[in-house]
Amino acid sequence: MGRIQYNGVLLLMVLQIFLVATTTGDETCESDRIMEEQCRIHTYRTVKPLLDYFRQVRNELEQSETKEQQISELNSDLMEKYHEIVRIHETFVKEAALLNEYKNKVIKGEYDLQLCQNKIDKSESEINSKQNIILKLKEQLTDKSTNLENCQVQLKSVNSRLIEKDETIKRFSENIKNNTEHQKTLELKLEESKSILINHEKEIQLCRSEMNKLNRTSDNIREQKKIQLKLNECETKLSQSELDKLNPTTCLPFGDYSGVHQLNVSGLFNVLCDSQLAGPGWIVIQQRVGGNESFKRDWATYRKGFGSFESDFFLGLEKIHRITSLERFELYIHLVDRRGRTYNARYDDFKISDEDNGYALSLGKFNGTIRDSMRYNENMKFTTFDHDNDKHDGGNCAVWAENGWWYNACSYCNLNARNLYIHWWDTYLKEVKMLIRPKEAMKK
């Protein structure tokens, strides 16, 4: 801008010189018109550069003013821009402060978020752990529910058995009461029989005394025969039924009085008499009604017998042999399947041999409401895990079946089997009773 002012001053000086020169030249050349043209030419040549320069300066000046105006406008715009930049800067500073504040908040939020994430991870881990525990608890609950259902089923079964046992106990109580009364009656009859027996013995002694006297005092043969007849009559007054009552060998003398009674068959032992299931006079030799007795026993135990008359028991091979060797016995088998349906099987000539012959089984003819499954075992010796008498080539049937029985190879029925496997052919049973009675009992 200083340069433009300098050029303007110089231009004014040149213009003044030009005006002076022009004035002087006009005075000198006015007289000489000839020289006028030359003067003009000279003046033109002298002034032209100045004029050109002047024009240039003027143009530059105009341009300078324009530029100054533009510069002023630009300065004004620049100031506005500057103020705007200042405002923007202030806004930027504020926003930067806010940004820093937000950044701090973001950092704090990230930290809090990280803490929350850690808590979430920990919570997820705890949730997973608890879910695993819940799954285990569900499994345990399922198992316990299953066990509970099984327990409920068992409880129902136990309740049913308890009811049955209560009824059985009630029957036994009634039987005991009846047996007590019957025992009292029998004791009275026994006393009467003993009194009669004593009187008969006295009469026999009197008869013998008289016979001895007659033998000493008389040779009359006819009188001796009369005395002998009288003696025989005295000896037979004690009836066979009275003798049977004094020394019972079966349950027949006890009539309708069920329960435990004592028999005298080559020794005294107790038996369970049953007069309700199939009539009077039956001896129960085997019973499965409780499910608590193990039939996995050795030979000696089966020979002697085991169990309880109130639940499961086996009378004993030796006792069964002694009883069935007295006369002809029939066998009655009472069967109840798992649905409560009842069957029976009867054999008209049941007996077992002595121990030397292995307590071999004989049955006789069959009659019943179920197929003859025991025929396969006829004539077989008894087998236990320590006495193998079966015909099975693969080993001892009593070992894998876990009970003693009259095995062939092995058996189509097993009434001494484990509780879940008691069967008669393809029928699985929950209750079994084996009873024997003299074959001619109903004819007497």
117-156 per-position pLDDT tens digit? 887 788 788 888 877 887 877 777 777 677 667 666 666 6
Give residue 300's pLDDT.
97
Give residue 380's pLDDT.
97
* End-to-end Cα distance, the chain: 166
Give residue 165's pLDDT.
62
Q: How far apart are CA 346 and CA 16, in angstroms?
A: 171
Q: How far apart are CA 206 and CA 77, in angstroms?
A: 174
Residue 83 CB neighbour total at 10 angstroms: 10
SS3 316: coil
Helices (H) and strands (E) in the chain, counts: 7, 12
Give residue 238's pLDDT.
44
Contact status, residue 358 vs residue 404, Cβ threshold 8 Å: no
Q: Please write the tens of the pLDDT for every residue from 150-182.
A: 666 666 665 666 666 666 566 656 656 655 665
DSSP code of 443? G
Give residue 237's pLDDT.
47
C-alpha closest to that of 341 among 430, 435, 434, 415: 430
Beta bridge partners of 272: 260, 284
pLDDT along the chain (444 residues), means of 10: 54 56 52 68 72 76 76 78 77 79 79 80 80 78 71 64 64 60 61 62 64 57 57 50 65 91 94 94 95 94 96 97 96 97 97 97 97 97 97 94 96 94 95 94 55
Give residue 241's pLDDT.
46
Burial code of 105-131, b = ≥16 C-beta within 10 A, e = fewer? eeeeeeeeeeeeeeeeeeeeeeeeeee
Q: Please write the tens of the pLDDT for every residue from 315-351.
A: 999 999 999 999 999 999 999 999 999 999 999 999 9
Give residue 126's pLDDT.
80
pTM for this one?
0.51
- List of E strands, 62-208: none
Homologous superfamily (CATH) of 247-443 is Gamma Fibrinogen, chain A, domain 1 (3.90.215.10)
